A and B are shown apart, each in its own frame.
Chain A
Amino acid sequence: MKHSTFRAAARLISAGAFAAMLAGAAAAATPKDTLVVAWAIDDIITMDPAETFEISTGEIMGNSYDRLLRYDVNDPSKLVPDLAKSWTVSEDGRTFTFELRDGAKFASGNPVTAEDAAFSLQRAVILDKTPAFILSQFGLTKDNVKDKVKATGPLTLTIETDKSYAPSFVLNCMTANVAAIVDKKLVLSKEQNGDLGYAWLKTNYAGSGPLKIREWRANEILALERNDNYYGEKSKLARVIYRHVKEAATQRLLLEKGDADVARNLTPQDLDALASNKDIKETGTPKGTVYYISLNQKNPNLAKPEVREAFKWLVDYGAIGDTLIKNIGIIHQNFLPVGLLGASTENPYKLDVDKAKALLAKAGLANGFKVTMDVRTVQPVQGIAEAVQQTAKRAGIDIEIIPGDGKQTLTKYRARSHDMYIGQWGADYWDPHTNADTFVRNPDNSDDAKSKPLAWRNAWDIPELTKKADAAALERDTEKRKAMYLDMQAEFRKTSPFVMIYQMNEVAAYRSNVVGLKIGPTSDATYMFKVSKQ
């Protein structure tokens, strides 16, 4: 009995080796009309633009759904037409009118009308999923949205806001995924129990974008296909396939071997090593994501202004920038990422242990103190935390690192039960208010507050700054608005309990036969439909 199984196993192994050799010989590059992207896409939980709010879905939506307008990838301060060919703002700044382009069709063949546009925005507000606030912050609610967002003609859409906001603010928000236009007829035909097609759209597609979603298999693959009904220039690629590959080293091997055309999650040292490979090119763009360490003001030591400042002198920005985040980040000490209106580029802090020591002495903590920091066990976050732990120790501060998985540290952070936290914040839409809203706005610092921005999470009570942030959102003069944000950032740098460290630079490495790949400043602006292969 033993012998026979052994022999069977031996046969199997030799058969396997044979088959493997055949396949190995046959292994070639990816098909010409297909782009294979190796990327960690396990954050995807839905395909519904009214619900998506994750990084990788952002990109999928950007490629598969059209919206009224988009921002210019080369100059994000400019807006360009998409399904709306033109738009106007009323005298009082409260009514926005969009004129839709004629002849656009959904992938299903249905024509794109103002009805669809109105339905899409109404649907997002009524479903009230996570990103709905981007629209509802203009005074749109479940009850009034059908009156405020209307199709006033077959191709004319009007949106009415409750206050006269900065027009750029409102229009910028219309470029977000949540404002994507869905196929009303198709979605409603799949409706169950009045859910506006929510259950169906979670895993299906009803858009008009240049690529359509063919299939999403969680943790495995996401396939996009050319939409031949697209109104603009058709995608050169017939297919874009995102393969979920979590491990950076695996991505790199796939890319080097030619089984992937693009690798998206490479580490600084991978990028360094690939720089000398002539078959591989790299492209990067600063993103709207900033990384920071925050100090919970509920901790009496951390609440001292001198301690807050001392921590800003205890980070070795230069060394971190040259090593741990080389290629993937740029040192940045402001809450607005570069690229957004009014973003400051002043970085006054550097490692200065003596200065920090003096500040601590002034705070009556000359002998240092003990404090904990919740850290996600991913790089470069953990590496930065360890580096800060070392430099803080030189000033007598003992940081105990509490490692945890992402959701776990986040749960604790959101409950305000941390001391220190290291994390990141990405812009929700391309307007400075997105970050001002979270870093310098805290309307209610009580434990059961209605909104819980980052300032709240760190119990930073700032009535004055909150007012300034509110005013900036309403300022219609762009230059004045810019000055207001610069002013807020200056104060933030000095007094905030946030040690801003760097702005993310997203880099993709790709095979040299790939042409036209450009990473967008936000995830929904990385356009695969503009890419081709030689």
Chain B
Amino acid sequence: MTVAPASAETWREWLMSDRPQSRRQASLGRAYGAWRAFARNRLAMAGLGIVLALLLMALFADQLAPYSPTVGDLRTTRLLPPSAAHWFGTDDQGRDILSRIIYGSRITLFVVVLVAVLAAPIGLAVGTIAGYAGGLVDAALMRITDIFLAFPRLILALAFVAALGPGIENAVIAIAITSWPPYARIARAETLTIRQADYIAAVKLMGASPGRIVLRHIMPLCVSSVIVRVTLDMAGIILTAAGLGFLGLGAQPPSPEWGAMIANGRLYVLDQWWVAAAPGAAIFVVSLAFNLLGDGLRDALDPKGVK
């Protein structure tokens, strides 16, 4: 154990030390370095800001929303265009769209985060192991990946939801189960090109175990592509959840899930554009934020790109 330094200045020096005295210091130092790289990227910080704002919005939905997200009046407030009273207008049940979007951020965050957290690691692990191990392991893992990939996605998701039962949680699990294969393919493709690199050979010579090589030396290199893909997929995930909704397996009305709101708005696209436009814009902003965040992370984490 090293003795922890006292002042902020020395903390920094400790973290930035060229000669870390312990494993912990080294990894903390790396993390700090990554954070500094990340923080320098203004766009990435903007992305982070939006994501944090989304989090706050979800937390304080009760305080922020001007109206109830589930109560409307068919006679008096149906399909009103945006105005001072209803900033984003109202929907076909007379509900305030702004309030629905604010409350919907909870569901959206839940869906997006859960899918990313479930699907990305599976894909990464399968892809890198297959790519590095080669031979039979590769063949077996890639067969499974291919079967999943070769299957029309919505159909596979539908089958899983059918097995699990209706509800947004199950829809999320189904989407996660069906969305890892592309990550696996990308990770494997990257692994194949990295595998032959000199430094991997060097690590191997030093007697590192295959597990360690995959975990420590290959995965970090693949993470960046996978992150880019996952952040890009964010909007897709929200819209897939809506797609399941069409088959009756997504969010339950009157839940203000953004994808379901868009799906509902399609009937009004030609005359009451705001019903679909507002949740569409919300999805856009959030996926932009995740995308910026992802790019920032990619740059900060990429060991090849360290400045």
Contact = CB atoms under 8 A, between A and B. Distances in A.
- Tell whether any CB of A sits under 8 Å from a CB of B in the complex: yes
Interface of A: 247-249, 252-253, 267, 269-270, 273, 316, 319-320, 322-324, 375-377, 379, 382-383, 385-387, 389-390, 400-405, 408-409
Contacts of A403: 166, 245, 248-250, 252-253
Interface in B268-301: 268-272
Interface in B228-276: 245-250, 252-254, 266-272
Given A249-B270, A379-B267, A400-B252, A323 B75 contact: yes
B93 A390 contact: yes
B253 A269 contact: no
Interface in B58-94: 70-75, 78-79, 92-93
Nearest to B270: A249
A405 B250 CA distance: 11
Given A320-B74, A386-B254, A387-B93, A248 B248 contact: no
Given A248-B267, A253-B270, A379-B267, 5 more contacts: A249-B267, A386-B254, A390-B72, A405-B246, A405-B247
A386 B93 CA distance: 8
Interface in B79-119: 79, 92-93
Nearest to A248: B267
A117 B40 CA distance: 86
A-side binding surface: helix, strand, loop or mixed?
helix
Contacts of A404: 166, 248-249
A383 B245 contact: no
A400 B250 CA distance: 14
Given A377-B245, A382-B253, A401-B253, A269 B268 contact: yes
A269 B271 contact: yes
Contacts of A405: 246-248
Contacts of B166: 402-404
Given A316-B74, A377-B246, A390-B70, A383 B93 contact: yes
A409 B92 contact: no
Residue from the set B75, B79, B245 with the largest chain A CB neighbour count within 10 Å: B75
Contacts of A409: 248
Nearest to A247: B266
B245 A322 contact: no
A249 B252 CA distance: 25
B272 A269 contact: yes
Given A375-B253, A387-B93, A400-B252, A267 B72 contact: no
A269 B267 contact: yes
B92 A389 contact: no
Nearest to B251: A403
B270 A319 contact: no
Interface of B: 70-75, 78-79, 92-93, 166, 245-250, 252-254, 266-272
A386 B253 contact: yes
Q: Which 10 A-B pairs have the closest CB atoms?
A: A404-B248, A319-B74, A403-B248, A405-B248, A401-B253, A323-B74, A319-B75, A386-B253, A273-B271, A249-B270
Contacts of B78: 323
B253 A385 contact: yes
A322 B79 CA distance: 13
Contacts of A320: 74
B252 A401 contact: yes
Nearest to A269: B271
24 contacts: A249-B270, A252-B270, A269-B79, A269-B271, A269-B272, A270-B270, A270-B271, A273-B270, A323-B74, A323-B78, A324-B74, A324-B92, A376-B248, A383-B93, A386-B93, A386-B254, A389-B253, A390-B254, A401-B252, A401-B253, A403-B248, A403-B250, A405-B248, A409-B248
B93 A377 contact: no
Contacts of B74: 316, 319-320, 322-324, 387
A383 B270 CA distance: 19
Residue from the set B71, B73, B252 with the largest chain A CB neighbour count within 10 Å: B252
A38 to B, nearest CB: 15
A41 B233 CA distance: 34
Contacts of A253: 270
Contacts of B79: 269
A247 B271 CA distance: 15
B267 A390 contact: no
Residue from the set B74, B268, B271, B272 with the largest chain A CB neighbour count within 10 Å: B74
A401 B252 CA distance: 6
Contacts of B250: 403
A269 B273 CA distance: 12
B71 to A, nearest CB: 6
Contact of A377 (B70, B248, B272): B248
A408 B162 CA distance: 10
A405 B155 CA distance: 14
A389 B75 contact: no
A401 B250 CA distance: 12
A390 B245 contact: no
Nearest to A253: B270
A402 B247 CA distance: 11
Contact of A249 (B253, B254, B269): B269
A270 B269 CA distance: 10
Contacts of B254: 386, 389-390, 401
Nearest to B79: A269
A407 to B, nearest CB: 10
Contacts of A389: 253-254
Nearest to A372: B252
Nearest to B254: A386
B155 to A, nearest CB: 13
B75 to A, nearest CB: 5
A417 to B, nearest CB: 13
Nearest to B94: A323
A322 B75 contact: yes
A387 B91 CA distance: 12
Contacts of A377: 245-248
A513 to B, nearest CB: 23
A46 B160 CA distance: 32
B248 A408 contact: yes
A400 B255 CA distance: 11
A389 B72 CA distance: 11
B161 to A, nearest CB: 11
Contacts of B270: 249, 252-253, 270, 273
Given A323-B75, A375-B253, A383 B248 contact: no
B277 to A, nearest CB: 14
A273 B271 CA distance: 8
B92 A383 contact: yes
A252 to B, nearest CB: 7
A385 B266 CA distance: 18
Contact of B252 (A273, A319, A402, A408): A402
A242 B44 CA distance: 53
A103 B252 CA distance: 60
Contacts of B271: 269-270, 273
